[in-house]
Amino acid sequence: MSDDWWKSAVVYQVYPRSFQDSDGDGVGDLRGILSRLDHLEWLGVDVIWLSPIYASPQADNGYDISDYEAIDPTFGTLDDFDALLTAAHARGIKIVMDLVVNHTSDEHPWFLESRSSKRSPKRDWYWWRPPREGFEPGAPGAEPTNWRAFFSGSTWAYDEESGEYFLHLFHPKQPDLNWENPEVRQAVYAMMNRWLDRGVDGFRMDVINLISKVLPLRDGEPLPGGLGNGFPLYACGPRNHEFLQEMHREVFAGREGRFLTVGETPGATVDDAVLFTDPARAEVDMVFQFEHVDVDHGPLGKFDPQPLDLVRLKAILGRWQAALGERGWNSLYWDNHDQPRVVSRFGDDRDHWAASAKALAAVLHLMRGTPYVYQGEELGMTNAGFTSIDQYRDIESLGAYDELRAMDVPEQRILDGLAAMSRDNARTPVQWDASPHAGFTTGTPWLPVTANHAWLNAEAQRADPDSVAAFYRALIALRHDEPVVAHGTFAMLLAEDPQVFAYRRVLGDAVLTVAANLSGQDATARVDAAHGSLVLHNLGADTTPYPAGAGEVPLGPWEVRVYLARQAAR
Ligand code: ISL
């Protein structure tokens, strides 16, 4: 297996809470995942990325960790984990763990110790600061900087005991670790090493571009509402690359195994990503960029979504394709546990549900990079359809609701924004079958199962060769069988076309042409001729070789055609 085996791999993200429950408590667990490995093997994925299963108060569904080396009882035991790892490996599937080390839970012993006294040896493991000069401790405006937290409010929480504030870029239950302190870094590396010794195959690193803050901490540009934008002062900060190179040396460098590392890097530019992923720099294999999933955010932010501008989306993805590939590497994703369902967001989940799910899958998977499938995406699962605030569980959604209400945004507008964009859209239980709770649990699911599971479910789709799931399976097989998919060059075609997403991949004598109509109206893709066979198609059984006419591919609503030709190397 070569060092860059992950270039031809497909990763499947499991969000354990919503994947499969085995004990009837309504929350998914490790034994549940074990019982569904058949599905993942059938799909053909190479790697599972497991969202956090560590001990956690679950304020942010496990992204608030109180013990990095224990399994949360909700999900099972270390024995259950080992059994899952062994069973996955036996099927040739690797497991990549979520690594959440920008912050811990406020219930982590490190933080409890840090909080216990100003003289605690771990005081400096977190970011403690006195109130702003001239302000009474705890008084409005006394926060050490004006930064706005990701999930609403200030990034600073006041601790009455010591009269100081601690930093939390996310929720107050997620205090930021101080990566300037070498003991913190060594503790993280030691923990990572123990997981690798246990047999895991790598890490997905949560917000790993936020770990280095600009010193001294200072105010950001003012935002409407009184707080400020600290983002430029902690995203891709001054020591970010140094820390990742150190991590690589301390954790991965001496090991024999073949790992996958992917850094989650909100706000990273293409130039940042090249630095993070250039193999010569030994940082991470790839990063999750956000430009393409922020494309529809409106003036009020994420919960103010705008119609998709396809030309803009293609320009963003094309730019990432051009910059990463020879040097550095892309990850490819539409969905994860923080994003709404792509078929509801960029597709058409009413009139062209299956076709649009497949067309979006094809344009994503056949670009250059490593594709990620988020659980249920392979079934074309849709947004949750919640209409009232009581139905939401996600702290980001609940925080945004309160904040937008306080800004006098009309309630219906907020609810529409949440219905389109809430993270809970991705978190409803996986729809395994048509039974009352979709085969997810025998109890009451922690978040309701979407009603369309009666017809939209894995059991039905695995029996149907034309299903969305069968199409994902074919895409994954194509990547495994045809090296041009993983390794070919990329050229965007028809960049200005507002309906068609088309591109060409070339490797040696193989030429792969992808033409997709991402609209509900007929379209024509004028892509220059390269004779070949139709290897994937999402509508009916047409196998017309390309081109049908002179370099013109007629495309019905949401139709995608993928042609593979062999020709003399260019
Ligand atoms: O989902 C988001 C808000 O729109 C993102 O800003 C998200 O918070 C950001 O991508 C970081 O996400 C990761 O870290 C968070 C956690 O809540 C997310 O689930 C995780 O993916 C804090 O650990």
Residue 460, both tokens: 């039905």
**C-alpha 396 to ligand 1 mean position (Å):** 9
Which 3 state secondary structure label does DSSP give 202? Answer: strand
Q: Which of 21, 60, 98, 206 is catalytic?
A: 206
DSSP codes joined into one string, 260-289: EEEEE-TT--HHHHHHHH-GGG-S-SEEE-
- pLDDT tens-digit profile, the chain (570 residues): 567 999 999 999 999 999 999 999 999 999 999 999 999 999 999 999 999 999 999 999 999 999 999 999 999 999 999 999 999 999 999 999 999 999 999 999 999 999 999 999 999 999 999 999 999 999 999 999 999 999 889 999 999 999 999 999 999 999 999 999 999 999 999 999 999 999 999 999 999 999 999 999 999 999 988 899 999 999 999 999 999 999 999 999 989 878 999 999 999 999 999 999 999 999 999 999 999 999 999 998 999 999 999 999 999 999 999 999 888 999 999 999 999 999 999 999 999 999 999 999 999 999 999 999 999 999 999 999 999 999 999 999 999 999 999 989 999 999 999 999 999 999 999 999 999 999 999 999 999 999 999 999 999 999 999 999 999 999 999 999 999 999 999 999 999 999 999 999 999 999 999 999 999 999 999 886 556 788 999 986 555 544 555 578 889 999 999 999 988 644
303 in contact with ligand 1, CB cutoff 6 A: no
**Structural element, H or E, at residue 563:** strand 560-566
Domains 109-167 and 486-566 share a fold: no
Cβ atoms within 10 Å of 117's Cβ, excluding its own: 12
Q: What is the distance of C-alpha 358 from the center of its chain? A: 19
373 in contact with ligand 1, CB cutoff 6 A: no
- To test the pocket of ligand 1, the residue of 51, 207, 372 to mutate (highest count of ligand atoms within 8 Å of its CB) is 207
Decide if 491 contacts 539 (C-beta within 8 A). Answer: no
**C-alpha 545 to ligand 1 mean position (Å):** 44
Q: In 3D, which of 514, 507, 360 has the Cα closest to residue 8? A: 507
302 in contact with ligand 1, CB cutoff 6 A: yes
Q: In 3D, which of 136, 230, 215 has the Cα closest to residue 178? A: 215
Q: In 3D, which of 335, 282, 278, 332 has the Cα closest to residue 486? A: 332
* Residue 264 is a catalytic residue: yes
**C-alpha 559 to ligand 1 mean position (Å):** 33
Residue 486, both tokens: 């993983």
Residue nearest to atom 20 of ligand 1 (CA): 206
For β-strands 94-99 and 202-205, DSSP reports them as: parallel
Q: Which CATH number fits domain 486-566: 2.60.40.1180, 3.40.50.300, 2.60.40.10, 3.30.110.70?
A: 2.60.40.1180
- To test the pocket of ligand 1, the residue of 53, 177, 338 to mutate (highest count of ligand atoms within 8 Å of its CB) is 338
- What's the first-to-final CA gap in the chain, in angstroms? 29
**C-alpha 170 to ligand 1 mean position (Å):** 8
- To test the pocket of ligand 1, the residue of 63, 155, 291, 294 to mutate (highest count of ligand atoms within 8 Å of its CB) is 63
Residue 44, both tokens: 């053909």
Residue nearest to atom 8 of ligand 1 (CA): 150
The Cα 124–Cα 128 span in angstroms is 7
For β-strands 523-526 and 47-50, DSSP reports them as: unpaired
205 in contact with ligand 1, CB cutoff 6 A: no
Q: Residue 27 region, left (φ>0) first, then alpha (ψ -120 to 50), else beta?
A: beta
For β-strands 128-129 and 533-537, DSSP reports them as: unpaired
Domain ranges of the chain: 109-167, 385-421, 486-566
DSSP state of 292: G
Decide if 429 contacts 441 (C-beta within 8 A). Answer: yes
Tell the burial category of 420 from Cβ atoms under 10 Å away from its Cβ (0-12, 13-18, 19+).
middle
DSSP codes joined into one string, 447-492: SPPPGGGGTS-HHHHHT-TTSHHHHHHHHHHHHHH-HHHHH-EEEE
396 in contact with ligand 1, CB cutoff 6 A: yes
Decide if 273 contacts 284 (C-beta within 8 A). Answer: no
Q: Which of 264, 348, 377, 403 is catalytic?
A: 264
* Residue 206 is a catalytic residue: yes
Q: At 391, which amino acid appears? A: Q
**C-alpha 391 to ligand 1 mean position (Å):** 20
367 in contact with ligand 1, CB cutoff 6 A: no
User: How many helices, marked H, and strands, marked E, lie in the chain?
Assistant: 15, 22
Decide if 177 contacts 101 (C-beta within 8 A). Answer: yes
Residue nearest to atom 16 of ligand 1 (CA): 63
DSSP state of 233: G
Q: Which CATH number fits domain 109-167: 3.90.850.10, 3.90.400.10, 3.40.50.880, 3.10.129.10?
A: 3.90.400.10
Tell the burial category of 442 from Cβ atoms under 10 Å away from its Cβ (0-12, 13-18, 19+).
middle
